[in-house]
Amino acid sequence: MIMENIRVLLADDHQLVRNGIRNLLEDEKEIEVIGEVSNGQEALEVVSRLLPDLLIIDIRMPVMNGLDATRKLTASGLPTRALILSMHDDEDYILQSIDCGASGYLLKDTSKEEFMKAIRVIYKGEKYFSGDVSKVLVSNYLNVKEKKVPQDDTSQQYDITKREKQILGMIAEGAGNKEIAEQLGKSVRTIETHRFNIMKKLRVSNVVELLKKLDEEPGLK
């Protein structure tokens, strides 16, 4: 029985990363990389033209990030499924990916065996999350089940997550990215991504505007 190729599109703003993923996938006879893009907007444009089976996409990219692209892909109704491949193991990113409609979430340090397994599982119409990611999902489910802590109206208005609100409070106290990263046990890049998303949600373009927003709406912190 001849197996159809799994047609894959890669979306990552780092050429070296895309090269590495392509080299891994090209070793598998039934997987075909049909294209590469460097941001979410390009990913959506190519998906609409080529209709790949799977979009392997990073979260942090210019023009349009992976979460927004995945959300728009899901809303489009196109058959292409999204697999998030990210360096971020942060709970907020994982849960946002699920909300956006991603069919899977893997960390970039995953093994080749698990990577290939995820691709094949998602191709069959199922979902796949690595062990560490699954622990986050289970933990979140149990926490919600045991006790729901409602956000204040201001946080809900801007769709601010629990982690983002925590970071906003630390920013208001004058903490920088490095200090916040150390206190939360995350990388500086993860905190930078959170700040980017926060500023986008609050529609501010710099720290001065952000601090002013926090003064005007104390419910955010």
Say what the pTM is: 0.68
pLDDT digits (tens, 9 = 90+) for 202-215: 988 888 888 888 88
Closest CA to 105 of 56, 141, 153, 69: 56
Whether 148 is covered by a domain: the verdict is no
Q: Are residues 128 and 178 in the same domain?
A: no
Phi, psi of 167, deg, nearest 5: -65, -40
CATH of the domain at 207: 1.10.10.10
Q: Are residues 111 and 167 in the same domain?
A: no
CATH of the domain at 45: 3.40.50.2300
Whether 84 is covered by a domain: the verdict is yes
Q: Which residues face 54 on adjacent strands?
A: 8, 81
Residue-wise DSSP of 90-104: -HHHHHHHHHHT-SE
Q: Are residues 10 and 117 in the same domain?
A: yes
Q: Is the pLDDT of residue 123 over 80?
A: yes
Q: Which residues face 128 on adjacent strands?
A: 104
Q: Are residues 89 and 182 in the same domain?
A: no
Q: Are residues 20 and 87 in the same domain?
A: yes
Instruction: Tell me whether strands 81-86 and 54-57 are parallel, antiparallel or unpaired.
Output: parallel
Q: Are residues 99 and 10 in the same domain?
A: yes
Residue-wise DSSP of 107-128: ETT--HHHHHHHHHHHHTT--E
Q: In what order do the strands lie in the sheet with 104-107?
A: 31-37, 6-11, 54-57, 81-86, 104-107, 128-129
pLDDT digits (tens, 9 = 90+) for 173-221: 888 899 999 998 888 888 988 888 898 889 888 888 888 888 888 777 6
Residue-number span of the structural domain to which 26 is assigned? 6-137
- Taking the C-alpha atoms of residue 178 and residue 48, their distance in angstroms, rounded to an integer, is 40
Phi, psi of 37, deg, nearest 5: -140, 165
Whether 146 is covered by a domain: the verdict is no
Of the candidate ranges 75-84, 93-102, 131-140, the one whose mean pLDDT is the lowest: 131-140
The DSSP call for residue 22 is H
- Taking the C-alpha atoms of residue 100 and residue 86, their distance in angstroms, rounded to an integer, is 15
Q: Are residues 91 and 190 in the same domain?
A: no
Give 3-state DSSP helix, strand, coil % of the chain, rounded to 5.
55, 15, 30
- Identify the residue whose tokens are 């199922």: 126
Looking at 105, 137, 169, which one is the last position of a domain?
Answer: 137
Q: Are residues 33 and 132 in the same domain?
A: yes
Q: Are residues 198 and 96 in the same domain?
A: no
CB 56 within 8 A of CB 9: yes
Q: Is the pLDDT of residue 146 over 90?
A: no
| Six-digit token string for 2 | 């001849």
Give the length of the chain: 221
Closest CA to 198 of 186, 185, 207, 187: 207
Q: Are residues 42 and 125 in the same domain?
A: yes
Q: Are residues 53 and 94 in the same domain?
A: yes
Looking at 102, 137, 172, which one is the last position of a domain?
Answer: 137
pLDDT digits (tens, 9 = 90+) for 12-45: 999 999 999 999 998 898 999 999 999 999 999 9
Q: Are residues 61 and 24 in the same domain?
A: yes
Domain count, the chain: 2
